[in-house]
Amino acid sequence: MCLFCKIIKKEIPAKIIYENEKVLAFEDIEPVAPFHILIIPKEHINTINDLDDKKAAVFADMMMAAKNIATAQKIKNKSYRLIINAGEDAGQTVFHIHMHMIAHRKLCSL
């Protein structure tokens, strides 16, 4: 079982900040900003490259989680960046789809 599936099953502790039937969000262990969480689907999917039409629905749930978290966590100006690394060369180190949500830091333009 992958690391994030173990976090979903509460076999590995994490600072959970949001949870519903489809998604879980918890603090990143090595934050790169004052607010840095990971939003993950409860269904195990390795990478975006493994999505199909049915599995892709998890992204609607992940985006709604981001929106709800921005309100619940009082993210300043509701301004945040969402990042997904897909594949090793892009920096993906945990192969269970996850979206980084980063805020409360000045972020450079892309």
Per the listing, tokens 């978290």 go with: 69
Binding to ligand 5GP by residue 30, rule CB under 6 A?
Answer: yes
Binding to ligand 5GP by residue 49, rule CB under 6 A?
Answer: no
Q: Which of 44, 98, 100, 104 is catalytic?
A: 98
Give the interface size with ligand 5GP as a residue count (CB under 6 A).
Answer: 13
Q: Which of residues 59-98 bind ligand 5GP (CB under 6 A)?
A: 85, 91-94
52 vs 77, which CB is nearer to Zn ion?
Answer: 52
Residues making contact with Zn ion (CB under 5 A):
2, 4-5, 44, 96
98 is catalytic: yes
Phi, psi of 4 (to 5 degrees): -70, -30
Distances (CA, A) of 48 to 11, 19, 25, 30, 84: 25, 21, 18, 23, 9
CB of 28 to ligand 5GP, least distance (A): 5
Burial class (CB in 10 A: 0-12, 13-18, 19+), 93: exposed
Catalytic residues: 98
